[in-house]
Chain A
């Protein structure tokens, strides 16, 4: 079942809405859980067991943390002075042990299922190169849908319970819903328990506003996904699969088109997911905030796949930066290089770990690792050269807030992002490097260009991208389009809804003649 498929839109979703409506408020979360498990099973079948195991482990660890914390607090309250301190230390140690166990189990499962084959095959190459006759078995497992997303949700829950920012949930089935809520199951957003859990269990009534706002967002997502992304897929596939027959300029065009496709696909599915959540009164976190208006790579990552960036920030970057070894290193560097340099060194080290994991999270392949390192390089470079850039701009009298400078920075960021996505999409890292090589050495314009799109497709794509751009510009200016639309007369509102629906139905790249394109991030 795919979010953009007929079965989901015409059968599954209406049935879930109906069942939700007919169920008393207290039991509505059960409807959502059942629907989520059916949705999961329809895609991954028996691999549902992995999700259940992951949920069970998360529930058990959460309850254990809660019990140890409570018992520790009880014991400490009866003690005083050094004994109390010792008891607190003992409790902290136990809590750390439990959370470590829970996190290792969650991440370990992900590592085994997703990365074991990659590590084993690369180790075999290495062992072969150094002349050892040893060959490790290479296992490839079927991955349950959304494992990379729900694993991060599970880890965030455990760490939050450990930190005491949330209370452990006493109901395993409610926790199961947090892990599996179907609108975010395939591609996220990576929700936090503290943000979404309550609205999931509330069983909010289906209101007119929620339904209309939800449908609006869903249709806009569908527009991005099947009108733009799936149509662009035809040209992108042609360029990336036959890059050796194209000039550097066409490959660069391919990188730009792929970036547009990925954005339209991923943000489209996000819009659909968040819109569906909205219908049930569930607020899911935003994952995109007009990323192509970013003026730097680090800003880009606060606007693109926001929940992943925030997860790495809260559960990897900060804990790493504040860890005892890192504090020691900072102190040493401070003595040797001074305050600023010391902070820069430790921040860069933590950033390196974050981007290594970010690259790996996307997939078990060298191209993804390279993708992570590529972004790390530009972010670190910007951090290191920041004082120098500031001085240079001041010396050249370039006003940093002027529109041309801002535009230059936006375009520069877009170009860097597109090149990064080229490596992300290329079949292998070698292919990515070859394609990049062509971009910087072959500047010929193609004499004729046929990328599987006719002139109608090109005009349609141009108009559709302009619409998305216009909506983004308005969003960037703080205009709440949906609220504005809601204030207009009924006839105008319905006119807009009908136009949007018919545009999706008429101009969508679906049905005969098109290969269905699964949501792209679902593969990660």
Chain B
């Protein structure tokens, strides 16, 4: 009997030792600061880490279309609501879910606004599944994400003190002043009867997002920002049917381009792929009015606890006015 138990016990002991080593390694390599130079991935989207806990009411999730179209500081200026854009280039739906979970560890949002692009992003079921597995492993052991930081380890990494000092005055928004017109018109939204396929894997994660929000009494809103390159009616139809199935409100700005006042000659930075600052101002204004109309925005401007948002607004205005062209980049010092 003893002999029989020896091997399983040894295996458990070995794996326990490995787990401890992975945790210690993770502790060592995890960035101790959220500055770009600190090694944090997607520092822009992770800027919420330095926000005061439980002060951000709205979370925006999605891909580059989202961070090009939604400016949280404009929403603050116009409606006094606090929000953050946790969107990353080519975000997959499981990454949206991961950001949602991570965000809710520090914040208590009342509203999550999901841009529909990630619903259609897939690289094939086994690659998607592999990525989700890797994401899970990264969450458990950040060493899998930050292992490459062995190149820049310092004494600070040994002491293990983490402080997220960089505040993102743009709150995840990425403005661009480039202008490259889209000349294809609005024909990309010509109606069709055939919806685009939402893969089972993506439905699974969408379902997880819905359940996560429902369990925490968080309102969920799905929207689509104007993007002729990334969007079409088939995707609209699929999103519409999916959200209807779950009873979740969905708003597609691509169907209201005249109301949004999008001018494809001046409002896009890369021929219809992403909006520039002109387009972003219009979509944010439209989205703000829509959400306000639904009674989902809470005005915090008179609350002294949120005074720092006014200070951030001043920095935001200075920041976006400083960049006369190109894409505004947060520097290593966070300015």
Are B18 and A506 in contact, with the CB atoms below 8 A? no
Are B25 and A505 in contact, with the CB atoms below 8 A? yes
- Asked if B246 is at the interface (CB within 8 A of a chain A CB), the reply is no
Stretch in B126-134, B296-304, B313-321 with 4+ CB within 8 Å of A? B126-134
Stretch in A3-11, A77-85, A268-276, A406-414 with 4+ CB within 8 Å of B? A3-11
Are A7 and B21 in contact, with the CB atoms below 8 A? no
- Chain B residues positioned under 8 Å from A505 (CB to CB): 22, 25, 143-144, 147
Q: How far is the CB of A106 from chain B (nearest CB, A)?
A: 28
A2–B151 Cα distance when bound, in Å, is 27
Known contacts A506-B143, A507-B150; decide if A498 and B17 are in contact (CB<8 Å).
yes
Are B134 and A506 in contact, with the CB atoms below 8 A? no
- Chain A residues positioned under 8 Å from B25 (CB to CB): 502, 505-506
Known contacts A456-B151, A494-B14, A494-B17; decide if A511 and B145 are in contact (CB<8 Å).
yes
Q: How far is the CB of B109 from chain A (nearest CB, A)?
A: 26
Known contacts A42-B126, A507-B150, A511-B147; decide if A11 and B133 are in contact (CB<8 Å).
yes
Are A1 and B143 in contact, with the CB atoms below 8 A? no
- Asked if B186 is at the interface (CB within 8 A of a chain A CB), the reply is no
Give 1 or 0 for each of A414-438: 1 = CB within 8 Å of chain B CB.
0000000000000000000000000
Closest to B130 in A: A7
Known contacts A502-B25, A505-B22, A506-B143; decide if A511 and B133 are in contact (CB<8 Å).
no
Are B7 and A501 in contact, with the CB atoms below 8 A? no
- Chain B residues positioned under 8 Å from A512 (CB to CB): 41, 145, 148
A10–B163 Cα distance when bound, in Å, is 32
Known contacts A1-B130, A11-B133; decide if A511 and B17 are in contact (CB<8 Å).
no
Are B133 and A10 in contact, with the CB atoms below 8 A? yes
A10–B144 Cα distance when bound, in Å, is 13
Interface size on A, residues (CB 8 A): 26
- Asked if B137 is at the interface (CB within 8 A of a chain A CB), the reply is yes
- Asked if A401 is at the interface (CB within 8 A of a chain B CB), the reply is no
A188–B138 Cα distance when bound, in Å, is 31
A498–B19 Cα distance when bound, in Å, is 10
Are B129 and A7 in contact, with the CB atoms below 8 A? yes
Are A7 and B150 in contact, with the CB atoms below 8 A? no
Q: How far is the CB of A45 from chain B (nearest CB, A)?
A: 8
A11–B128 Cα distance when bound, in Å, is 13
Known contacts A6-B133, A511-B145; decide if A502 and B21 are in contact (CB<8 Å).
yes
A508–B137 Cα distance when bound, in Å, is 15
Residue of A5, A208, A497, A501 near B130 (CB, 8 A) is A5
Residue of A11, A497, A511 near B148 (CB, 8 A) is A511
Known contacts A208-B7, A502-B25, A506-B150; decide if A497 and B145 are in contact (CB<8 Å).
no
- Chain B residues positioned under 8 Å from A494 (CB to CB): 14, 17
- Those of B103-128 within 8 Å (CB) of chain A: 125-126
- Asked if A513 is at the interface (CB within 8 A of a chain B CB), the reply is yes
Are A6 and B147 in contact, with the CB atoms below 8 A? no
- Chain B residues positioned under 8 Å from A511 (CB to CB): 134, 138, 144-145, 147-148
Q: How far is the CB of B4 from chain A (nearest CB, A)?
A: 12
- Asked if A454 is at the interface (CB within 8 A of a chain B CB), the reply is yes
- Chain A residues positioned under 8 Å from B29 (CB to CB): 506
Closest to A459 in B: B151
A208–B8 Cα distance when bound, in Å, is 10
- Chain B residues positioned under 8 Å from A1 (CB to CB): 126, 130
Closest to B152 in A: A456
- Chain A residues positioned under 8 Å from B18 (CB to CB): 498, 501
The winner among A6, A10, A43, A494 for most chain B CB atoms within 10 A is A6
Are B21 and A498 in contact, with the CB atoms below 8 A? yes
- Chain A residues positioned under 8 Å from B130 (CB to CB): 1-2, 5-8
- Those of B158-194 within 8 Å (CB) of chain A: none
Residue of A7, A208, A497, A508 near B133 (CB, 8 A) is A7
Are B148 and A513 in contact, with the CB atoms below 8 A? yes
- Chain B residues positioned under 8 Å from A502 (CB to CB): 21, 25
A456–B7 Cα distance when bound, in Å, is 39
- Those of A481-524 within 8 Å (CB) of chain B: 494, 497-498, 501-502, 505-508, 510-513
**15 other A-B residue contacts (CB within 8 Å) besides A2-B130, A501-B18, A508-B147:** A1-B130, A5-B134, A6-B130, A6-B133, A7-B129, A11-B129, A454-B151, A456-B151, A497-B14, A498-B18, A505-B22, A506-B25, A507-B147, A510-B147, A511-B147
User: Which B residues contact A (CB, under 8 angstroms)?
Assistant: 7, 14, 17-18, 21-22, 25, 29, 41, 125-126, 129-130, 133-134, 137-138, 143-145, 147-148, 150-151
What would be 20 A-B contacts, judged by CB atoms less than 8 Å apart?
A1-B126, A5-B130, A6-B130, A7-B126, A42-B125, A454-B151, A456-B150, A456-B151, A494-B17, A497-B14, A498-B17, A501-B18, A505-B22, A505-B143, A505-B144, A506-B29, A507-B147, A511-B145, A511-B148, A512-B41
